[in-house]
Amino acid sequence: MRYVMKQKLFSWGDDFYIRDAEGREVFFVDGKALSFGDQLSFQDLQRNELAFIKQKLLSWGPTYEIYRNGALAAVVKKELFTFFNCRFSVDVPGPDDLQASGNFTDHEYTITRGGRTVATVSKQWFSWTDTYGVDIAEGEDDVLILASTVVIDMACHSDRKR
């Protein structure tokens, strides 16, 4: 499934929609303006919370926690000691951790599990520069991958919050 996101949406307290490839609104992300650190509620269109994203403030490097139904579902962390490219780990309970690597500033990266690509993030599908797509393999957890993509964008583009 392909989703469409706007590059310059993620800023302090902003709300935004995630759309499908045909431009229909699919998810709503509610930014919490009056909070310490980034906090977002990832919701369906009826405003039911599907995931809650919270920045972990006391950690080495950008770290975010994703909660589902009140339970920790994943920890997204930027790996600090990489030499040639940037990487993020998405630590989920059990053996199904994800890795994101590529060019994050230009929104060109892949998300893999055990060496298999489960999602790609790219601007190449769009002619206008402030939009990018997230293409998720069938059978994957779309909410977790999209929430992780939002986290990666916040961590890589924190300068847009001002």
126-148 per-position pLDDT tens digit: 655 567 899 999 999 999 999 99
Q: Tell me: the pLDDT tens digits for 35-93?
A: 566 789 999 999 999 999 998 877 677 799 999 999 999 999 987 765 556 789 999 99
Residue 159 pLDDT > 70, yes or no? no
Closest by CA to 132, choosing from 120, 143, 121, 140, is: 121
- Write the CATH number for 60: 2.40.160.200
Residue 14 pLDDT > 50, yes or no? yes
pLDDT value for 124: 72
* pTM, full prediction: 0.86
Residue 160 pLDDT > 70, yes or no? no
The secondary structure of 103-129 as a DSSP string is ETTTTEEEEEETTEEEEEEESTT-SST
Distance of CA 122 to the CA centre of its chain: 13
Range of the domain at 82: 2-161
Alpha carbons 107 and 149: distance in angstroms, whole number = 10
Alpha carbons 79 and 82: distance in angstroms, whole number = 7
Q: Which residue has the tokens 């699919």?
A: 26
| Number of structural domains in the chain | 1
Average pLDDT over residues 9-37: 77
* Strand spans (E) along the chain: 2-6, 15-20, 25-31, 39-43, 49-55, 63-68, 71-78, 86-91, 98-103, 108-113, 116-122, 131-136
Q: Tell me: the pLDDT tens digits for 110-125?
A: 999 999 999 999 887 6
